[in-house]
Every structure is written in structure tokens, then in C-alpha cells.
Amino acid sequence: MIGKMYSSTADNSPAFWGLRPSTPEYIPLDSEEGKSFSEITGFQPDLAEIMISARKFPYGFFRVKENNYAKTYKYFVKIVSHERFAMEKFSLAIMAYLHSKGVPCFVSNLIQGQNRKGKYCVTISPYLEFNYFSGMRSEARAMGKLLRVVHQALTDYPKAEQIKNNWQKRYKVFTNLRDILHQETPSWWQWGPEKKGMLITGFPLLNFGQDIAQVVHGDINFGNLLFPYSANNPILIDFENSKYSYFPVYFDIAMLLERFFLVGRDKNEAEQLFNAFQEGYGEIQFDKLFMSMKAMTIRSLFLLTERTFKNIITPASEWKKFFILLEQSEDKCSFLIK
């Protein structure tokens, strides 16, 4: 599979407007793939198609019909590494909880798939025909409404205490990384002293008051916010990041603002979209938002730092993306600072 759509770490990630994926495309499986897919998931191979993506088979996204006569697809199947089982489980539990609270959300099944080559984590959801955000104000308003009810419902998430601890542990790890960066420049650091300084001076932004924090989504981007054909309102998916995201709600809003409304648009358009968002969400305090935008980028940069210290290779483009965002945030947000 050499087609290119996106993967979560590749430089064609859908996090940003200009790089957003178009509506996903699917193609039939070849016979080898079909056999393997069937072994892992139990589905009949000729009923399935694979999404064109940068993932290496059998990892990837699939859609499956219920039977040969069906015209539409019934299931959306995601196969990832078995190591991600716990993360996926966590994400699905939050979505099921939101659903139980009346927030439009998927309820999915998680199974352990297996073939001769290994074990896999398989998520099975209802298949959805959807669009990504297309830049309309009505969509921005609907996103505001959605995030409001999601945040409201997450205020009493039963596992909040665990998530708070997860973040506090992460914060300690980041503190250590900050100290290391302060004392030395790791051999892999290729961004010069100025950018290292940005991480160090930005770090205190992650030290917000815990009393204003709650469970949030933590990874709001184009790929995780879908507008179903069948409904007027969007839905949020992929709550994996929530596992560590005990933050002020402004962190989510800032991320949304940055990725959906700021990148690739002029200030006037951004302001209009943001105003529409506020009509849905309720009034937002701008000063907090501005700091949160920087904080989220600093968090992302520390996550990359953590990964690199663990010898997980991250494309240079990922680093560059966040440095650009950090530098741009002042200018782009001038409309917030009236």
C-alpha cells in the first residue's frame, strides 16, 4: 500500500488545514490481504475495502459490508499494533461514557485479532459517511455546541482522578526533560539554541492551576472531528489523548482555534469563524486562550522531546510544524487581544 493519505506521525498529518485529507478513498483488498484481513477480523474478505493510507498492511482502516447484496458499508474497522490495545480501550470507554450522557458519539467494539504473524488490536465501529470541516461558519457554530456538551459531560467522568495522576506523572517527566535541556544540548538536537530556549521558557505555561482543569479531549484536529452526512452536528472521535489530558478547557478550544480557524486563513476569516464558534460554545476569555495555545504547542514539543529521548524517530517536519505554530501564535492571535 503506497498510497498517501495520512498517518498520525507523518508529515501529511491532518492536524492542519492545508494538509487536511480529502474524503478518504477505499480500494478492494488483493487476495493475500483479503486472507490476512479475514484471519485477523473474522470478516469475509470480499465484503471489505481498505482506506488508502500510509499505514503498512495489516495496519490500517477498512470498511466492511454486511453481505453481498448490501449497497452501503456497515462497519469501520481499524487495525493497529497490539501494544495500543490499552490506549484504544481507554478511548472507547470515554466515547461510550459520552454516548451514555447523550453526547453524539460512536459506541465501538474492541477485539484482539490474530494471525500467524502476530496479535493485533482491532476496533469495530459503525461505518460513517462524513465530511471534514469545510470552513463554513455554520460548522464552526456546531463545533462550539459540540465541544460545550463534551466538556460538560467530561466534568464528572468517573476516571478523572486517574487521568489527573497520569498528567501529573507526565508533567514530572517533562520537568526532568526541561532540566536536562537546560543543562546540556542532546546530540540529536538539531534546532539551535534559540529553539531550545523556547521550550525552556515556555515550560511554565504547563503549570496551570489544577482547580481549573478537567478531563478534555486533548487532540482536536481535522481527522478527529467528523461531520456525518446523516446529521447536522459533528462528532468527535479518537479520545486516546484524554488519558493524559487533565487541562483547562481552554487547551481544547485553543487547539481547535489554531488548527481549524487560524492556519491557512486570513485574520478576518479566522475572527468570523471564531465568533461563530463562540455562539455555540458560549463566551470565551481571550487572554486565557492565547496562553493555552502556546501551552498546547509546548506540550507537543515536550512529547516529541520525550519520544526522541526514547529513540523513537520523529520526522523533522513534525518538529518544524510546532516551532512554526509557536512563532506564529503571537501574530495570528492579535485579533484575540483587543
Binding residues vs ligand ADP (CB under 6 A): 8, 24, 61, 76, 78, 106, 125-128, 223-224, 237-238
Say which DSSP state 56 is in. P
- Closest contact distance (angstroms) between CB of 72 and ligand ADP is 12
> In the complex with ligand ADP, which residue's Cβ is closer, 111 or 128?
128
Gap between the Cα atoms of 111 and 68, Å rounded: 24
**DSSP result, 154-221:** HTT-TTHHHHHHHHHHHHHHHHHHHHHHHH---TT--SHHHHHHHHHHHGGGG---GGG-EE------
Distances (CA, A) of 171 to 168, 178, 240, 304, 324: 5, 10, 18, 14, 23
- Closest contact distance (angstroms) between CB of 287 and ligand ADP is 31
113 is a site residue for Mg ion (CB under 5 A): no
Say which DSSP state 105 is in. -
Site string for Mg ion, 145-184 (x = CB under 5 A): ----------------------------------------
Yes or no: say if 332 and 262 are a contact pair by the CB < 8 Å rule.
yes
- Closest contact distance (angstroms) between CB of 96 and ligand ADP is 14
24 binds, among Mg ion, ligand ADP, none (CB under 5 to 8 A by kind): ligand ADP
Q: Name the one range near Mg ion by CB under 5 A: 46-54, 181-189, 204-212, 224-232.
A: 224-232
224 is a site residue for Mg ion (CB under 5 A): yes
Distances (CA, A) of 85 to 100, 112, 120, 141, 256: 22, 8, 8, 34, 27
> In the complex with Mg ion, which residue's Cβ is closer, 224 or 300?
224
228 binds, among Mg ion, ligand ADP, none (CB under 5 to 8 A by kind): none
139 binds, among ligand ADP, Mg ion, none (CB under 5 to 8 A by kind): none
Distances (CA, A) of 332 to 119, 197, 277, 327: 45, 21, 17, 9
> In the complex with ligand ADP, which residue's Cβ is closer, 132 or 274?
132
108 is a site residue for Mg ion (CB under 5 A): no
Gap between the Cα atoms of 183 and 19, Å rounded: 36
The H or E element containing residue 302 is helix 286-309
238 is a site residue for Mg ion (CB under 5 A): yes
- Closest contact distance (angstroms) between CB of 240 and Mg ion is 8
Site string for Mg ion, 40-79 (x = CB under 5 A): ----------------------------------------
Q: What are the DSSP E strand ranges found in the chain?
A: 26-28, 48-51, 60-65, 73-81, 109-115, 118-126, 130-131, 214-215, 225-228, 235-236, 246-247
Gap between the Cα atoms of 87 and 334, Å rounded: 37
214 binds, among Mg ion, ligand ADP, none (CB under 5 to 8 A by kind): none
- Closest contact distance (angstroms) between CB of 98 and ligand ADP is 14
240 is a site residue for Mg ion (CB under 5 A): no
> In the complex with Mg ion, which residue's Cβ is closer, 225 or 253?
225
166 binds, among ligand ADP, Mg ion, none (CB under 5 to 8 A by kind): none
Residues recorded for the chain: 338
Query: Total number of residues binding Mg ion (CB under 5 A)?
Result: 3
